[in-house]
Amino acid sequence: MTHVTVSGKTIEEAVKRALSELGTTEERLSYRVIEEAKKGFLGFLGSRPATIEAHIIPDPVSEAYSFLEKTLELMGVPATIDQSMEHKKVRFNLQSDEDLGRVIGKRGQTLDSLDYLTNVVVNRQKGTKEYLSIEVDALDYRERRREALVQLAHRVAEKAKATKKPVSLEPMSAHERKIIHSALQSARGVQTFSKGQGRQRHIVIATK
């Protein structure tokens, strides 16, 4: 049971009944008042109880998990989903004995799309108290990509210093550009800045 219509002498009493019948907590309960309580003549003649319609707010993490599981099934990708919590972020890491290249996509673009859609699903419920961040990964691709970007940043920085000419990197997502900026933030003799618009936005590494 996920929905009930209950009554009580007051709205508070009706809410308590809804919590009891649904077996949930106030944080997971959403309700709307159908009718306010009304006192009758002499306090009882013609009186009417308060009535509410209540339902359980779906668990956002479970919804996101189910969405991701169904999406992978529709994509024909046999994968299991490992769930963990890291730095106040729910992490879904896909594991499979088969190639997950279709899930990752070119430079992680398909993975980024799955990540975006899953976050939309998890935060679409109006009853959700606060934004919940979810990261979708596959075979720890994101960490391997981060390490590769940090190595690239330092390699290109050395090239820029040696040639004394600015070097432009390929277009990247905002998240990947942030990794490059952070990697060279304390590097001596070089600076980084973004250039271009939309999908063509990229980082330039130059000497100071």
Domain co-membership, 153 together with 203: yes
Report d(CA 52, CA 11) in Å as an integer. 7
pLDDT 10s digits, 96-136: 988 899 999 988 889 999 999 999 988 875 445 578 899 99
Tell me the β-bridge partners of 30. 55
Query: Of 139, 162, 197, which residue sits at a domain end?
Result: 139
pLDDT at 67 over 90: yes
What range does the domain containing 126 cover?
60-139
CATH number for 74:
3.30.300.20
Report d(CA 153, CA 146) in Å as an integer. 10
Indicate yes or no: pTM above 0.75. no
Domain co-membership, 48 together with 75: no
Report d(CA 52, CA 8) in Å as an integer. 9
Give the confidence band of 181 by pLDDT, cuts at 50, 70, 90.
very high
Residue with tokens 């009891």: 20
Tell me the β-bridge partners of 32. 53
